Amino acid sequence: MDEFSKIENWKREGKKIVFTNGCFDIIHAGHVDYLEKAKKLGDILIVGLNSDASVRRIKGKDRPVNIQEHRKRVLEALKPVDLVIIFDEDTPEKLIKQIKPDVLVKGGDWKIENIVGADFVRSYGGQVKTIDFVYDISTTKIIQKARKTGK
């Protein structure tokens, strides 16, 4: 069964679909906390994962550190995550329109009006939410620290 057939089945079963997206290059405690909180907003958590090419365009030529298949595998192993879909565009707008989630979620560093797909999700009665970060950590900070201590 393909990804979108699974989603349609969940919808037929009346499951509340939550969608988030990101690069998830080096998984850290902040990611785990965020995904746990996102999952609590519904029944099914779908993660849109930026492809390697998309991460390079957004983050620069040295990223991602981990290839998309490895990043997908790690995310799929996390308890809150029900499905991971890799997308190649710079934004998940096309994917959001395909999935039509009940809840669209991003991190607290995003203003709701700047969240890609927010207007679309709200147009059919869906919710758009942000989740505050509790850890002062990011993949970029981890890479910077590793570079500093590796010299």
Write out the residue range of the structural domain in which residue 99 sits. 15-149
**Is 7 contained in some domain?**
no
Residue burial 31-70, b: 16+ Cβ < 10 Å; e: rest: bebbbebbbebbebbbbbbbbbebbeeebeeebbbbebee
Can you give the pLDDT at residue 150? Answer: 64
CATH number for the domain harbouring residue 80: 3.40.50.620
pLDDT over 90 (residue 143): no
**Is 9 contained in some domain?**
no
**Is 8 contained in some domain?**
no
**Is 43 contained in some domain?**
yes
When the pLDDT of each residue in the chain is averaged and rounded to a whole number, the result is: 94
Can you give the pLDDT at residue 135? Answer: 76
* Number of structural domains found in the chain: 1
**Is 115 contained in some domain?**
yes
Percent above pLDDT 70 for the chain: 99
Mind listing the pLDDT tens digit for each residue in 98-138? 999 999 999 999 999 999 999 999 999 999 999 998 877 78
Mean pLDDT (whole number) for 62-91: 97
